[in-house]
Amino acid sequence: MPTKFIVITGGVLSGLGKGIAAASIGHLLSSKLKIIPIKCDGYLNVDPGTMNPYEHGEVFVLDDGGEVDMDFGHYERFLGVTCKSSWNLTMGKVFDMVRQKERRGDYLGKTVQYIPHVTDLIKNHIFDIASEEKADLVIVEIGGTVGDIENELFLESVRHLKEAAGRQNTLFVHLTYVPVPYGVNEQKSKPTQQSVNLLKQRGIFPDIIIGRCQEVLTKEIKEKISSFCDVESEAVITGLDVEDIYEIPLVFEEEGLPAILHKKLNIYSPPNLRKWKLLVENLRHPKKEITVAMCGKYTKLEDSYASIVESFNHCSAHLSCKINLKWVETTDLNDPSVLNGVNGVVVPGGFGSRGSEGKIEIIRIAREQNIPFLGLCLGLHMAVIEFARNICGLKEANSTEMDADTPHPVIDILPEQKDISNKGGTMRLGACPADLKDGSLVRSLYNASVASERHRHRYEVNPSYHETLIKNGMVFSGNSPDGRLVEFIELPDLKYFVATQAHPELKSRMETPAPLFHGFVKACLE
């Protein structure tokens, strides 16, 4: 079978959930096909790694160390694939590649132009991934909305791709918005018509239209969109507003999307949603409830911690437990009652000194009151500092990230990071194994002697303080195979006090929640 391509574009406004739509389409087709997701982003950064979470949401990290768009989190969680860095094609990367080719002389004296040189490069990049991965189906998501200057070259490239891959092998799905204005109480098709017109002006004719709407699209509106936009009315699909993103594959199935995809692409890969449905059912009707304090500094934008939120959703589905996240901004923290009524505390990853003292204080309260605690990357640093100050008696202990002149640098920069000045792609990145200590809680949670989790950091527990920390009762429950780097810590006398240098939230799946989160929620429930 030749490789098939589904290209997903978005219209009207951003934030309609193109990534989740793409991932859900993939999920519906994944039973028999090898599916590879590719995301095209129009910005000129090489990757989102240098962007503030407020600019771009969470930076997702892959096994291979790639720092990529957070939609890759959805792809991995919905498709069960391990993605690669090259599958996120940004305009920054494209221009880098074009310039390298030009300097090498690959263009043989030609004037290098957007069309065909840049568009060919994009198209060939997509074909190369398809053949390297022996993909049955490639899902290409074009970031942004049609009409943005930024994504014009990607749209032109996928138009060419359709010719090259064969019309019968390529499908265009357009996600738009169907408002129901207050007082009018009627589903409106005009934004969809206008957005499809923009797409058609670019030579792209959608095969399927997904209309994001607060209610199921009526037969009438589907027919109207069908006649104005030249798609069959059964190819107009509701993208219903839902509580949980995991409901979207079920909504699409209900709307008859699998059959249309099979027919139009001449494939057959029936959805296998039995287990998924049971888990979604648990999410909808939880039997228990807990509240977890999320103590960070990007709490105003939940997208900054997207994978953590999803990891908790996975635990909810497995433990039939509603998990309320109480967002605690630690920058100006002076409210001693913040943890009242809270069943557990998470200190997530982060950068820079703002809010660090608030986090250390919260960890002290959690430790002293035996409230379950989970620390992620920076959260581990903060826990080690708190322990050094209040248990080991090193009053001014700190991380050199927060205070370069601290007399007790219990957290210090990794030796190999000392001489690095470039910011992009230079942290300790990607999956690294850790040997787990016999008899530790972490080892029993992973039920394995080695755990491989993804990393994104520059600082570590300073080896000069390992002995002091251990002597005072901190257990290093996981170390790098060479023994130098502390990957997991725990305080064994407490109900649940665990932290890791890694980001286990990045590998949590609906079917297999991250062990540290699962253990943490169970402890919160006790």
| Residues with catalytic roles | 377, 503, 505
Closest distance of CB 350 from ligand GLN, Å: 5
Smaller CB distance to ligand GLN: residue 211 or 348? 348
Closest distance of CB 53 from ligand GLN, Å: 11
Q: Are 449 and 439 in contact (CB under 8 A)?
A: no
H-only helix segments in 133-217: 152-165, 190-201
- Positions touching ligand GLN (CB under 6 A) are 349-351, 377-378, 401, 456-459
Closest distance of CB 182 from ligand GLN, Å: 42
Which residue is at the shortest CB distance from ligand GLN?
Answer: 349
Closest distance of CB 293 from ligand GLN, Å: 17
Q: How far is CA 388 from CA 26, 252, 497, in A?
A: 48, 52, 15
Smaller CB distance to ligand GLN: residue 458 or 466? 458
Smaller CB distance to ligand GLN: residue 42 or 49? 49
Alpha-carbon Rg for the chain in angstroms: 25
Taking Cα atoms as reference points, which of 295, 428, 412 lies closest to residue 361?
Answer: 295
Distance CA 465, CA 476 (A): 12
372 φ, ψ to 5°? Answer: -50, 135
Smaller CB distance to ligand GLN: residue 191 or 425? 425
Smaller CB distance to ligand GLN: residue 42 or 48? 48
Smaller CB distance to ligand GLN: residue 161 or 461? 461
Residue 303 has which token pair? 């997208």
Smaller CB distance to ligand GLN: residue 362 or 378? 378
Closest distance of CB 379 from ligand GLN, Å: 7
Q: Are strands 321-329 and 288-296 parallel, antiparallel or unpaired?
A: parallel
Q: Is 171 exposed, middle or buried (0-12, 13-18, 19+ CB in 10 A)?
A: buried
Closest distance of CB 135 from ligand GLN, Å: 31
Q: Are 421 and 447 in contact (CB under 8 A)?
A: no
Distance CA 241, CA 248 (A): 9
Q: How far is CA 33 from CA 4, 98, 232, 253, in A?
A: 10, 33, 25, 17
Distance CA 465, CA 481 (A): 19
Distance CA 290, CA 78 (A): 26
Closest distance of CB 413 from ligand GLN, Å: 8
Distance CA 73, CA 80 (A): 10
Q: Are 331 and 296 in contact (CB under 8 A)?
A: no
Residue 88 has which token pair? 């996120």
Distance CA 355, CA 254 (A): 46
